[in-house]
Amino acid sequence: VTATSHSAIDNVLEACVDAGVPVDLIMKAQKDAPPQRWATKDTSPAATWLRRQEGALLIAGTSYFFSNERVRERQVDYLFVDEAAQYSLVDCMAVSGFAKNIVLMGDPQQLAQVVIAVHPGGVENSALGHYMGDHSILPANMGYFIEVTRRLHPEVNHAVSWLAYEGKLRSHPSTEGHKIDGHEQGLITVPVPHQGNSTSSEEEAMTVVDLVHSLHATKDPSNVLVVAAYNAQVDLIRQKLDEAGFNEVMVGTVDKFQGREGMAVIYSFAASSSMDAPRGLEFLLDRNRLNVAISRAKATCYLVFSETLLQSQFRTVAEVKAISRLAGLLEIAAK
């Protein structure tokens, strides 16, 4: 098992133990890490442990670990790449010699791995993105699309499925129980009038504080995630929440919360209009960013925004598509 981060790998190993995989068949190199349920008592280096094993085993690590020549001396049958939509194509090629077969698992409709350098010829793509090409949903002849979500309440899933999954994603019946007492489930719009705001909005920040208060976040802060489009708005909301006594409520950009979840999510757009948005509507209303933000919510997602965003003058086809996403979400929320 490999992934971009140790925490993602640990989650997979925890699930393996839950599924009945014997702990003594699992190895992951750990350095200065807290003990895990699956942590073996064998203190040998992972490469040494691997050479001694006969028969079934499960070994895990990042691409750095699997690029080790001593580890690669023994080829495994399957290498599972978790979060493969964020796992770089180059890293996948580097570890591919370790396995006879590779299984790519992930969601291509979420944020890709951050690329700083310039890579020609599509090399900047993720492993799963490269494999899927232009497909937004994996065709049946190329693999498996897991069409059931166990996170999203059906009312939230309706918006997410329309936005990113061609309407094919459906909620597991157990998600009907996802709720916060006294609050509606689904997508809820909270228009806030303001003008001239670019990357931060005092008006939206105060509205966020009011919403957090109504959600009783002091009782269980982990129930609420506050997401903002820009770092400046994150800082402003953090300040206002601290002043109101909500120090433990988490606030961050979309990038920070990928992989996280809460019963309620509050998403603040901050920019007053397309002309005020420093990176344009294509960034502010990017499909993958909206998808990540909304799909953090297990029960309810609040969209805090300026209605003048909808009155924008469009300069490109991409901007028309971007504002159409917001208009579509607002229409779903109104039903």
Q: Could you give phi then psi for residue 263, rounded to 5 degrees?
A: -60, -40
Alpha carbon distances (Å) from 68 to 35, 94, 95, 129? 24, 10, 9, 25
Q: Residue 258 to residues 80, 152, 266, 335: CA-CA distances in angstroms?
A: 20, 15, 15, 28
Give 172's contacts (C-beta < 8 A, 6+ positions apart).
Answer: 148, 149, 150
Nearest to 330 by CA among 267, 237, 264: 267
127: burial class by Cβ within 10 Å (0-12, 13-18, 19+)?
Answer: buried
Residues contacting residue 77 through CB under 8 Å, at least 6 positions apart: 99, 100, 101
**CATH class assigned to 180-334:** alpha beta
Q: What is the CATH number of domain 6-132?
A: 3.40.50.300
Overall average pLDDT of the 69-73 stretch = 79
What burial class does residue 292 get, using C-beta atoms within 10 Å of its C-beta: 0-12 exposed, 13-18 middle, 19+ buried?
Answer: buried
Residues, the chain, total? 335
Q: pLDDT digits over 211-246, tens only?
A: 999 998 667 788 899 999 999 999 999 999 999 999
Query: CATH topology of 6-132 equal to that of 180-334?
Result: yes
Spatial CB neighbours of 331, under 8 Å, sequence gap ≥ 6? none
DSSP string, 229-274: SSHHHHHHHHHHHHHTT-TTSEEEEHHHHTT--EEEEEEE---SST
Quick one: pLDDT at residue 293?
95
CB 173 within 8 Å of CB 153: no
Tell me if residue 121 falls in helix, strand or coil. Answer: coil
Check pLDDT > 80 for residue 36: no
Q: What is the DSSP string of 21-84?
A: --GGGEEE--SS----TT--S--S-HHHHHHH--S--EEE--HHHHT-TTGGGS-EEEEEETTT
Q: How many CB atoms lie within 10 A of CB 76?
A: 17
Residue 251, pLDDT > 80, answer yes
Extents of the domains making up the chain: 6-132, 180-334
| pLDDT tens-digit series, residues 153-201 | 999 999 999 999 999 999 999 999 999 988 999 999 999 999 999 999 9
Residue 40 confidence (pLDDT): 62
pLDDT at 270: 97
Indicate the SS3 state at residue 167. coil
Inter-residue contact 152 to 177 (CB < 8 Å): no
> What is the tens place of the pLDDT at every residue in 294-303?
999 999 999 9
C-alpha dist (Å) from residue 242 to 57, 225, 226, 253, 265: 48, 14, 13, 17, 18
Nearest to 61 by CA among 48, 75, 46: 46
Residue 7's contacts (CB-CB under 8 Å, 6 or more residues apart) are: none
Residue that is written with structure tokens 């040998």 in the block = 44
